Chain A
Amino acid sequence: MDVKDTFMKLYIKKNRITSIVKLFSIFLLFLLTQCLYLDSVDYEPTVKAGEVATFTMNIRVEPAENSSDVRLVIGYLVPKSWNAANNTEVTYTSNIDEGTKKMSLIPEDNLPRNGNGLTWKDGLKNKYGFGPNVLDDMEWIVYWSDQVYSVTNGEKLTAAVSLKTKTGSDNLRAKLGFFLNHTNDGLSSSTDHSKIMYTDCFEVIEGEGSVIDFCELHYNSAQPINATKDDILTIKFQGDIGENILDNADEVYFCGTAYTDNGNSYTVCGPEPKAQMRKENEFGHTYSLTFWPVGFFGIPDDEAIIRIDYSFLNEDGSLELQQTADDGSESPFLYEFICK
């Protein structure tokens, strides 16, 4: 055996060892970073308006390294109209605590370690938006455990976090979001240290007004959900969700009547330039119109708008799309001016 052969054998052996070390390192890293789990969120699928809805997050924490001064963090995506920050109680029980422990809203001046300077709630909004919901009148609310923990490598912790929220008075359907993280991670990009889960379509029933549906697209949508006549409204015609009579329309117009508190009504009904809806993109069939109701309808200062009835027209007004009830009858879409 010459020197060259010996060198080659050593070289190949070294390479094998390097590969094994690399594989082991990846495996070890995998083990080390798997530490936070959101196994399920338990809840009743409906609640009556104004009553308390309870959600339970079932959590496992399996730290793979020692950590100290760490708090558990929970994010909660809910409709704004619930004013949940003032109407929610968050508690938890765990296998390392005695009795029930409390969680509190994270102070605005405490920024997540990896949140790029954003607050916790803005960081979550930036990262996850409003999840699978189709309307944006939702907000993230973020809590942390009052208690600060030290955890050790190899521990197996379980916890059940209970969120009890007094729901608002609106009838609505929404997919609520539940986020799990800890302060030592602070919204990093690692999914090993954070988990997110959304409910199916959760419903608030027997409340006020027509159902606000965050879960599914309809031919119409209107935002913001809560408004007065001095807000700016955006009304959409979402023609892409199914076949409809305006499929072949080159232009779509808004036709609406505003009803005020003193019994007057004011109508703007296309086709006229200010009622023409803006096509959102070249290939789709979604149109929107954004306007200040007072200026748009010409409402006098001393009148407040109660509601707007509206429909969508083609360019010559010969086709009108309204909402269709289960019995086949048609009626205008409705936007109610509610401010809570």
Chain B
Amino acid sequence: MKKSLYKQFVLLLISLTSMVVSCEVFEPEDKVYVESEKTIAGSWKIVEAYRNDVDITDLMDFSEFRIKFDSNNSYTIENYLPFVVSNNGSWNLDDPQYPFKILFTVEGSTEPLVSDLNFPIVNGTRQIGLTFSPGCPSNQYTYVLEEVTN
């Protein structure tokens, strides 16, 4: 009998405590969360390459290719391999907060070339995934780029 009373007392105590905690007044802050603008400024290298969804990363030497995106929206390519554009120029994202496309405008041109863009973080590392057709339109290539850190 004593045990039962003790149990009931403990349960009552827990209930009261949780009520007190749950009744704590939540005061909303005036702050509105704003998604940060993404930046791709930096020098990037190819870490994965796919042709028509087939992995060709290990079949060819992609290691020397570099694309450098400057914060002033210009880009330069070193050791060219088939890519969205073959010459240097300027770049823009379709939406700096939620980018799904990257626009490359070659120097001397007014018409941008557009590539689908993925911008994931994989194993703590930011990657850029670009999908494009540099040659015959029936062939689609995807490069996964990682920033060159050294």
Contact = CB atoms under 8 A, between A and B. Distances in A.
A195 interface: no
A172 B137 CA distance: 20
A4 B80 CA distance: 87
A287 to B, nearest CB: 11
Contact of A234 (B56, B86, B136, B137): B56
Contacts of B137: 339
Interface in A205-234: 224, 226-232, 234
A291 interface: yes
Contacts of A165: none
Nearest to B137: A339
Given A231-B82, A295-B81, A224 B139 contact: yes
A83 B51 CA distance: 18
B139 A226 contact: yes
B135 A230 contact: yes
A39 interface: no
A136 interface: yes
Contacts of A229: 135
A232 B142 CA distance: 12
Among the interface residues B52, B53, B82, B136, which one has the most CB atoms of the partner chain A within 10 A? B136
A168 to B, nearest CB: 11
Contacts of B52: 136-137, 224
Prevailing SS type, chain A contact patch:
loop
Given A290-B60, A291-B60, A231 B81 contact: no
Contact of B136 (A125, A136, A227): A227
Given A292-B82, A295-B81, A228 B56 contact: no
B135 A231 contact: yes
Interface residues of B, number: 18
Interface string A284-304: 000010111001000000000
Interface string B52-65: 11101001100000
A229 B136 CA distance: 9
Contact of A230 (B51, B59, B134): B134
A54 interface: no
A80 interface: yes
Interface in B44-95: 51-54, 56, 59-60, 80-82, 86
A295 B56 CA distance: 17
Given A137-B52, A232-B51, A292-B82, A339 B60 contact: no
Contacts of B134: 230-231
Contacts of B53: 125
Contacts of A9: none
Given A136-B54, A292-B81, A292-B82, A339 B59 contact: no
A232 B56 contact: yes
A81 interface: yes
B104 interface: no
Nearest to B82: A230
Contacts of A290: 56, 59-60
A80 B140 CA distance: 12
B150 interface: no
Contacts of A291: 60
Interface of A: 80-81, 125, 136-137, 224, 226-232, 234, 278, 288, 290-292, 295, 339-340
13 contacts: A81-B138, A136-B52, A137-B52, A224-B136, A229-B135, A231-B82, A231-B136, A232-B81, A234-B56, A290-B56, A292-B60, A292-B82, A295-B80
